[in-house]
Amino acid sequence: MSVPLSSSKQSTVFLLRLCLLKPQTSAIPYYPLHRHLSTEPNPPPQDEESLINEAVQLFQVLEDGNSSSTQLHQLLFSSSSPSSPGIFRQITRRLASSSQALEFFDYIRSNSPSRELTSLSFTFQAIFELASREPDPQNKLLELYRTSKERNIPLTVNGATLLVRCLGRAERVDEALAVVDELDPSLKNTHFYNVVVALLFRSGRIVKALNMLDEMLQPGADCPPNDITGDVVFAALSRREWCGRSISDKEIVGKKMIGLAWDVLHDVMKAGGTLEAASCNALLTGLGRDGDFERMNTLMTEMKEMDIQPNVVTFGILINHMCKSRRVDEALEVFEKMKGVSGLSVEPDVITYNTLIDGLCKVGRQEEGLTLMDQMRSENKCMPNTVTYNCLIDGFCKAGEIERAQELFDQMNKERVFPNVITLNTLVDGMCRHGRITSAVQFFDEMRSKGLKGNAVTFTTLIKAFCNVNNIDKAMELFSQMSKDGCSPDAIVYYTLISGLSQAGRMDDASSVVSMLKEAGFCLDIVCYNVLIGGFCRKNKLDKAYEMLKEMEQAGVKSDSVTYNTLISYLSKTGNFATAHRVMRMMIKDGLVPTVVTYGALIHAYCLNGKIEEAMKIFRDMSSSSKVPPNNVIYNILIDSLCKKNEVELALSLMEEMKAKGVSPNVTTYNAMLKGLRENNLLEKAFDLMDRMVEQACNPDYITMEVLTEWLPAVGETGKLKNFVQGYEVSVSTA
DNA sequence: CTAGGGTTAG
């Protein structure tokens, strides 16, 4: 039964479909729109049928030079000929080829100049249809499209649809979009929009696709979305990798998608449609991705009100997002609740457990994670899998308990839970981070011999580790090894290596890696440019740094505040203050705001150049304008410089100011201050600071200890030094 | 549900 629905109902159908993860039969009758969109006209009545056949035959012989033109003319254009509106289109459809059809079209036009435009449009559509079934349809259609424009024949919606679909298939998206713009907006129908939106999503033009969808949803528009539209949007929504977009774009688009889905779901609710947990789960996932806890909560409440049973996935989403925001105890509460509250219990599955175990490990509660693994076995006969072990191994690695991690690795092997590349990478990373690079490489080799190969992540981890210990040669060796191992480097591998080389001052090597990166088809991003600019500056190669800036401009990569700060820091450190200030003005002109780092760079450089008054001036400036309040790095620079200039009183007053403004001192602050106090033998002040350090649990470092052990015993204050050290031992034992 | 990346002032 096909009952025409009001447009609001039709959009409900769309909304409902949009919200369902799996297609389901809708409770609301669905009007088969496609029947109205079909390009097949109704079969002609019998008398017309014979007229059409006759005309087709006459036209074909006319081509051969016969003089049947009068006959044809009479058949088609005499006052007695029963020309129904679609008659020419019918004839055109039956001609042998699109080129013949075009001739026929011109024939009618020259014989019936008063022919109305719509009729001609439909006839031309028939030519498009013929061409689309012939060889090389894309070029033929484009050619015909040009012809139609030359002859001033407007497109029909189906003609346009055909063109868009055909061009889209040939990935000639821009040409397809030109067709879209060409079509009379009032002709656009649902089918047309569906084809266009699908094409836009497919070609990654998400924003444009969403705008199109908005057009469809406009109250006045006569093209309500149907289930196909829903399918198209859903396919796009679940496709996570929207390649080639920047993060901010992704966010905007994601928000718009979520917003659409949110409205959709609520329209369904208002319309009294039936919803399943799966629909809500899809939306919850999106909201979670957005970090929108508020609306997640609202939705959960609404689910309850509407008697929609949450399932294990629903709880999984909630638990996951609580864990991800480090609210593990709340996650555990939800976990307990799902198991047995108000009669309807939902059994946790291995994913639920893994999520929680990971959450616990990520906040350093890996022992509890281990307990939970035991619990899943015993309480739920739910066996741990590779992911379970990976989470726990990572937890113990991050805690520096590499042996425990290795024990878990052995245990999983014994239980025949097979390690995968993530297990490998997790252990390799853990070893590297805790100074066991050699073991990491050994383990990597061992696994490879057993058939577990590494991937780009493994190599990134090792390359970074070797760069960190300044073993650049080994890092480069690994980089060349990876291609030999049949593992192609991704952008992250290149970035890591470029950064390591730049940090090590090996700018020639860094440049050659940049060339390789480009050869591999990757691009430098802003961070990578900043890394390189910083590297060139440190090597005093300002010309190279400027080359990078030029290249950035050509590549359309905008400088950010880090870029400017890097330059300002270099310029001012080399005494080039005038240029530094000029660059700062450029920065502002460029729409960027000087940050605390910008001021820090200038202040530091003024201090280094002995211009402490200039430094103080900037410092007072930033304090008063207070848009950029000084942080402890700024104070540390000044305190250190003042102490070195023997202006200890001034330094002490800055420390008081820090206290008043709630900027916490750190070990660097205390070290600078204590050195200054030692120079002036201001013992009482030093004791005061030492007490403050203990109070604030600010751990002394080797510099602190050096200063104090050289100073206090020499002035007979060994007791104070002992107390100071003990203060930390006490706080360690109470912790 | 699990693994890897880089930058600027002390």
Residue A19 has a pLDDT of 30
End-to-end CA, chain A: 74
Contacts 24+ apart (CB under 8 A), A140-149: A140/A98, A141/A166, A141/A167, A142/A167, A142/A175, A144/A98, A144/A102, A145/A179, A147/A102, A148/A124, A149/A182
Separation of A333 CA and B2 C1' (Å): 23
How far is it, in rounded angstroms, from Cα A54 to Cα A44? 14
Residue with tokens 């390789």: A516
CA of A494: nearest nucleotide by C1' is: B5
A634 touches strand B (CB under 7 A): yes
Q: Which of residues 145-164 of A touch strand B (CB under 7 A)?
A: none
Paired tokens of A274: 């039936």
How far is it, in rounded angstroms, from Cα A530 to Cα A541? 14
CA of A355: nearest nucleotide by C1' is: B1
Tell which residue, A493, A495, A499, has the closest CA to residue A478.
A493
Burial A464-484 (b: 16+ CB within 10 A, else e): bbbbeeebbebbbebbeebee
Q: Which of residues 436-475 of A touch strand B (CB under 7 A)?
A: 455-457, 459-461, 464
CB atoms within 10 A of CB A710: 10
Residue A550 has a pLDDT of 97
CA of A637: nearest nucleotide by C1' is: B10
CA of A351: nearest nucleotide by C1' is: B1
Amino acid at A95: L
CB atoms within 10 A of CB A489: 21
Coil, helix or strand for A495?
helix
Contacts 24+ apart (CB under 8 A), A679-686: A679/A643, A679/A646, A679/A648, A680/A646, A680/A648, A681/A715, A682/A648, A683/A715, A683/A717, A685/A652, A686/A711
How far is it, in rounded angstroms, from Cα A148 to Cα A143? 9
Give the DSSP H or E segment for A646.
none
Burial of A45 (0-12, 13-18, 19+ CB in 10 A): exposed
Residue A94 has a pLDDT of 86
A351 touches strand B (CB under 7 A): yes
Give me the phi and psi of A318, to 5 degrees please: -60, -50
- Which residues 6+ apart lie within 8 Å of A217 measured at CB? A11, A225
Separation of A655 CA and B8 C1' (Å): 25
**DSSP string across A189-222:** -HHHHHHHHHHHHHTT-HHHHHHHHHHHHSTT-S
Please write the tens of the pLDDT for every residue from A611-646: 999 999 999 998 887 689 999 999 999 999 999 999
Residue A292 has a pLDDT of 83
Please write the tens of the pLDDT for every residue from A549-604: 999 999 999 999 999 999 999 999 999 999 999 999 999 999 999 999 999 999 99
CB atoms within 10 A of CB A185: 9
CA angle A330, A333, A336 (to 5 degrees): 155
How far is it, in rounded angstroms, from Cα A26 to Cα A28? 5
Give me the phi and psi of A522, to 5 degrees please: -95, 165
Residue A575 has a pLDDT of 96
Q: Hey, what domains does chain A have and what are their CATH numbers?
A: 471-552 (1.25.40.10)
Separation of A347 CA and B1 C1' (Å): 16
A580 touches strand B (CB under 7 A): no
Residue with tokens 């939705």: A299
CA of A597: nearest nucleotide by C1' is: B9
How far is it, in rounded angstroms, from Cα A285 to Cα A279? 10
Residue with tokens 């890696």: A513
A609 touches strand B (CB under 7 A): no
How far is it, in rounded angstroms, from Cα A601 to Cα A567? 10
Residue A170 has a pLDDT of 83
Half-sphere exposure of A585 (CA within 13 A, CB side): 5
- Which residues 6+ apart lie within 8 Å of A724 measured at CB? A690, A693, A694, A700, A708
Per-10-residue mean pLDDT of chain A, 735 residues long, equals 33 28 30 35 67 79 65 75 70 85 82 77 84 85 85 87 84 87 86 85 78 75 63 57 51 74 77 81 84 88 88 94 94 91 82 98 97 94 96 97 98 98 98 97 97 97 97 96 93 97 97 97 97 98 96 96 98 97 96 96 96 95 85 97 95 96 95 96 96 92 94 95 86 55
Nucleic acid strand B: bases within 7 A of protein CB: 1-10
Rg of chain A in Å (alpha carbons) = 37
Separation of A557 CA and B8 C1' (Å): 17
Q: Are A275 and A19 in contact (CB under 8 A)?
A: yes
Q: Distance of alpha carbon A519 from its chain centroid, rounded?
A: 24
A632 touches strand B (CB under 7 A): yes
Paired tokens of A141: 């259609």
Residue A233 has a pLDDT of 60
